[in-house]
Amino acid sequence: MFNFLDLPEDILLEICTYIGPQGLLALKQTCRVLHALGCTHHVWNQMMIDFPLDLPLRANKQALPALQIQCAVIKALRLDYNWRTHSARIRQFKGAMCDNAVDQMQPLGSQWLITLSRSPSSTQISVWDVGGSRCSRIASVETSTALRFSADLYTQSKMVIAVIEHNDPRNEHLNVYSLCLTEGENERGPSTGNLELCHSIFKPLSRGTFFDVHAYGCIVAAAVARFSGPTSPPAYEVVIVDTSTHRQWVFDPGFSLGVERVRLKLSLNRIVLVGVEASKTLLIREFGLSSFFLLKKTYKLDNGTAVNSYIDRLPDGVDNTNLILLNYDAIQFPTEFDVHLSLESANGTSGFIPIVVFPSLVVPTGGLAYMIKFPLSPTTHNMEGMEELQGTIQIPMQQFSTSAKTSADILCVGRTGYRAVWIQRRWDNDEFEFMKTTFSSSDELVDVIPLLPKHTPLPFKSHACQSLAFDEASGRLYISVHTGELFILDL
């Protein structure tokens, strides 16, 4: 009679790798031999896991101990069960008080939160340590008028925050701040730190206006809209800054006049731009950043210090069309729509950019929304394979129904596109409700359900929310209300 344990150890290890986390956790409980095999470093580091894990950002999964990955998997499975049920329970609830109402928030994993709060006379960028039992502000910087920001971890101990600042009626700045981090600040009591200005770009409004910014590691990209007349459609440029070398470039993404609602997203050695044409067509273009790093004509700052610099156009001798890797420009939808991207940095190992397309108009009978996972091209891809690549790659898309006479007021997409949460507004009775869904696989039905049971007691009303942020790996939702209060809800 065949005995499963008689197989060679290397084959047993491969079997443990391919049965998935749920199967492995069950297999470990059968006998001591399989329990020992199921605890090995090789198994947990090579296993394909198709849901997000609450691991430190910028951590190398291959270098993490097996026990840490196993604990993260168990936590993720419990979260997934709680998330998918109609009777989800709140695992932890805590709050903090900001000086003013928060307009924008962005988490960096489950340890850090960056907020942009606004008063009548100034704005404030704050960094919060939210990893412990209470929240504490560890650093902040006050500016005259910050419009939008994006943050990411350059290393596990250094944060980069790029801020669009409108300092006076004629000029704008793209300021990049850095902060050295030490985990566990809130266990030792509140402390303060300094956000140091490490790069600054000065731009007159006559050369256009910054309207979007995104950070990935030490790279920052900002989109500029330029208007030739008061009623003319904008032309777009993208500024790219390498904060580690203080080099910067400007390039034209090639969008035709009339494209609107342009957004950008950085990933590993790539930048993806999303735009809307004629209200019903989604344009997605991907550019490789490796060409920019090889340019000889660059702009450097003296002695590595932050010096105001003036953006210029694309350096001479560079053919912008050779920078396009993918160009999907005809994804059409039946109705007008809004585009939602994750505010967090892209997952460098996922191979795609998640995009949620939601109806922008209230449909009396309900409408359709879509999760698009735009595939990133291989880093070794060259222009010779462009035509073949465009003809063979299919864009994964999942659709789900929206309720009748409703709209999404604020929508947050998870970093990997596995989960999404939003505030749904019913226009027939003006009620607000938190909704959630999961996008686990392309062939699974997308189920949209309320985030919490209907009568769950909360210290705020849904309609009072000023902004939301969402960390899908930990199941944590950040909610700021008009009074300046900040609430953190863990599922």
| pLDDT confidence band for 291 (50 / 70 / 90) | low
Residue 192: the pLDDT is: 47
DSSP H helix total and E strand total for the chain: 7, 29
Tokens matching residue 1: 């009679």
CATH number of 4-84: 1.20.1280
Q: Is residue 408 predicted with pLDDT exceeding 50?
A: yes
pLDDT for 442 equals 66
Q: Three-state SS for 85?
A: coil
- 295/94: higher pLDDT: 94
**pLDDT tens for each residue of 5-46:** 778 888 888 888 888 899 889 888 888 888 888 888 888 888
Q: Do domains 4-84 and 92-490 have the same CATH topology?
A: no
Mean pLDDT (the chain) is 83
485 CB-near residues (< 8 Å, 6+ apart): 95, 96, 97, 98, 459, 460
Across 307-315, average pLDDT: 46
- The sign of the torsion formed by the CA atoms of 54, 60, 64, 66 equals positive
- Cβ density class 229-246: b for 16+ within 10 Å, e for less: eeeeebbbbbbbbbbeeb
* Fold (topology level) of 92-490: Methylamine Dehydrogenase; Chain H (2.130.10)
Q: How is the chain split into domains, by residue range?
A: 4-84, 92-490
Q: What are phi and psi for residue 252, nearest 5 degrees?
A: -100, 120
The residue that leads in pLDDT, 368 or 311, is 368
